[in-house]
């Protein structure tokens, strides 16, 4: 039944015979079903990370560690690599050149596909950590973009609230509400495969319209200080405002307390890598000084 459901999420007219895929199942839940789905649609499938023993889930394989997949795609001359995580709700891809394609880029490719087939319903939903390049690329396509708090549940809440259909995280948790009700790595991969098949373009070309902006993240320990006090400290807010003004529309600053550790993440994103690193370090120094006082 699940195989038939997956097949129903892409046009039945598509023929994937002759397409060589590497699928990395992270020694997890999809070790058998993911290759079976891809073989069912006619693709030649090379399996890696498909030998679970109960202890090796996500160990050196899968969406959280896609280097093994990238290597296998290059060695085998594959058209595409698909890396799922242990429970199969996330997916990271590797294109025909052996380069890793993250969730933001996957969202961009799927949005292009939806535009060619009737349009994107409402806005695409990302998170505070979604790369600025995704927002810019979608804007150039005429597609709106909205950010919510980090976490797929916040994405799904917003999509459901507004009756929109597409959202996701850079980690590869993609939600296509016009196909299914939650994140499903296999379904998400199939949407990209369908776009490759329909357009005749390799993934390296389909992703080319989105330029990822350099991003620098520095975690500053809080010690005994409270995150709210530090983030609202006058020196910190002034430092953030100064960087935002200097970078304008070509940059973004985010200060975010960790949900699990006593840390504040200082993230700066912009068009020029050297400037991004310098600005992130400048803000981080002010945050450290505020923690010390």
- Identify the pLDDT of residue 249: 81
Average pLDDT rounded to a whole number, residues 22-33: 97
Quick one: what percent of the chain has pLDDT higher than 90? 91
Average pLDDT rounded to a whole number, residues 141-152: 95
Confidence tier at 292 by pLDDT (50, 70, 90): confident
* Angle (CA) 263 267 272, round 5°: 155
Average pLDDT rounded to a whole number, residues 147-172: 96
Confidence tier at 248 by pLDDT (50, 70, 90): confident
Give which of 113, 179, 146 is closest to 154, Cα–Cα: 146
- Identify the pLDDT of residue 224: 87
- Identify the pLDDT of residue 225: 87
pLDDT for 57 beyond 80: yes
Average pLDDT rounded to a whole number, residues 6-24: 95
Q: Any idea which residue has 């052996």 for tokens?
A: 98
pLDDT for 293 beyond 80: no
pLDDT tens, position by position, 79-127? 999 999 999 999 999 999 999 999 999 999 999 999 998 889 999 999 9
- Identify the pLDDT of residue 198: 95
Average pLDDT rounded to a whole number, residues 15-42: 96
Of 139-153, 184-198, 248-262, which range is least confident?
248-262
């Amino acid at each position: 039944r699940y195989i038939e459901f997956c097949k129903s999420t892409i046009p039945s007219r598509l023929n994937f015979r002759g397409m060589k895929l590497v699928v990395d199942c992270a020694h997890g839940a999809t070790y058998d079903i993911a290759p079976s789905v891809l073989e069912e649609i006619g693709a030649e499938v090379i399996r890696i990370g498909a030998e679970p023993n109960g202890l090796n889930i996500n160990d050196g394989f899968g969406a959280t560690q896609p280097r093994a997949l990238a290597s296998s795609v290059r060695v085998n001359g594959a058209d595409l690599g698909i890396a799922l995580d242990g429970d199969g709700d996330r997916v990271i891809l590797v294109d025909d050149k052996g380069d890793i394609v993250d969730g933001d880029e996957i969202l961009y490719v799927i949005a292009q596909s939806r535009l060619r087939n009737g349009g994107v319903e409402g806005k695409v939903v990302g998170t505070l950590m979604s790369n600025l390049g995704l927002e810019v690329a979608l804007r150039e396509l005429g597609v709106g973009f909205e950010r919510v708090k980090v976490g797929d549940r916040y994405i799904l809440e917003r999509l459901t609230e507004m009756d929109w259909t597409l959202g996701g995280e850079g980690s590869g948790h993609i939600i296509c509400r016009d196909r299914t009700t939650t994140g499903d790595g296999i379904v998400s991969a199939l949407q990209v495969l369908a776009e490759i098949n329909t357009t005749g373009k390799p993934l390296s070309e389909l992703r080319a319209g989105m330029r990822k902006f350099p991003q620098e993240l520095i975690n500053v320990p809080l010690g005994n200080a409270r995150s709210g006090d530090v983030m609202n400290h006058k020196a910190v807010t002034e430092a953030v405002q100064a960087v935002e003004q200097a970078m304008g529309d070509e940059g973004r600053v985010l200060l975010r307390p960790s949900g699990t550790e006593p840390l504040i993440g200082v993230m700066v994103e912009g068009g020029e890598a050297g400037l991004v690193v310098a600005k992130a370090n400048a803000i981080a120094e002010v945050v450290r000084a505020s923690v010390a006082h």
